[in-house]
Amino acid sequence: MKRLLFSSVVLALGLIGCTPEPLIDDETSQIPPVYSEPFSPDMEVVEVYTDAMQRNGQFPAEVIVEMGNYDKNELSRGELVYLVIPEGQEDRYSNGNDGGMIVRIIAMPGEEIAVDDGRVIINGAELDAFYGHEYYWAGGSEAEKVTESALPEFQVPDGHYALSGDNWWRSPVNLSTSAIPAEFIEGKVIGQPE
């Protein structure tokens, strides 16, 4: 009996020790900051056409995008990007929606990503961030956490990113569509107009 108990404790500790630490992003803000600096020639005000970024009705109707930002800077998880789906690619990448949209970077090239009980899992570790869990917003002041959704694990190909709006079910580009080629990302959201 003692051997069985000892073996069970050792097995449990071994399993706990094998669980990857969560990926924590507690620095990314859901709402872009107000941008009050002078504009450079590569900055544009872009209209946010859908409620794909809404979690509580507070996301701005317009954002400021620095076009070509990623020609000189690396992409990072959690960043808001301006994505343009080329005509003819919309069925494959964005549920039939072409043109520009604002989405968030969820997973990077080469990472394994899955969704389990509405939670984003990257390389076996839970993404501990406000955008690491599915929410459903249909108006009102708060979104509901969704715990039913699942997505089998897949690897994000080189030169691609897993992207989504913060309100997954309303986002034309989301984790269930496809990893998106980097060349479709035209700029980084740096803020919202005053």
Q: pLDDT per residue over 121-175, tens digit each? A: 999 999 999 888 876 555 555 656 666 778 899 999 999 999 998 887 777 877 7
**Which amino acid appears at position 113 of this protein?**
I
Q: Running DSSP on this structure, what letter comes out for residue 166?
A: S
Question: What DSSP line would sit under 51-86, residue for residue?
Answer: STT-SSS-S-SEEEEEETHHHHS---TT-EEEEEEP
How far is 164 from 146, CA to CA, in rounded Å?
15
pLDDT score, position 63: 97
3-state secondary structure at position 98: coil
Tell me the backbone φ, ψ of residue 133, rounded to 5 degrees: -145, 140
The closest alpha carbon to 77, from 120, 138, 137, 119, belongs to 120
pLDDT score, position 50: 75
pLDDT score, position 143: 58
51 or 88, which is more confident?
88
Count the alpha carbons within 13 Å of 159 in the hemisphere toward its beta carbon.
3
How far is 138 from 5, CA to CA, in rounded Å?
50
pLDDT score, position 27: 93
Query: For residue 97, what pLDDT band results from cuts at 50, 70 and 90?
Result: confident
Tell me: pLDDT of 91 over 80: no
How far is 135 from 192, CA to CA, in rounded Å?
23
pLDDT score, position 8: 47
pLDDT score, position 65: 97
Express each pLDDT in 25-72 by its tens digit.
999 999 999 999 999 999 999 999 777 888 777 889 999 999 998 888
Instruction: Give residue for tokens 């994000």.
Output: 156
Q: Name all domains of the chain by residue range, CATH numbers in brackets.
A: 21-191 (2.10.109.10)
82 or 52, which is more confident?
82
How far is 74 from 44, CA to CA, in rounded Å?
20
Least confident of 8-12, 61-65, 184-188: 8-12
Least confident of 92-101, 126-135, 153-162, 181-190: 92-101
pLDDT score, position 57: 77
How far is 112 from 82, CA to CA, in rounded Å?
23
116 or 170, which is more confident?
116
Instruction: Give residue for tokens 């980084």.
Output: 188
Tell me: pLDDT of 177 over 80: no
pLDDT score, position 2: 53
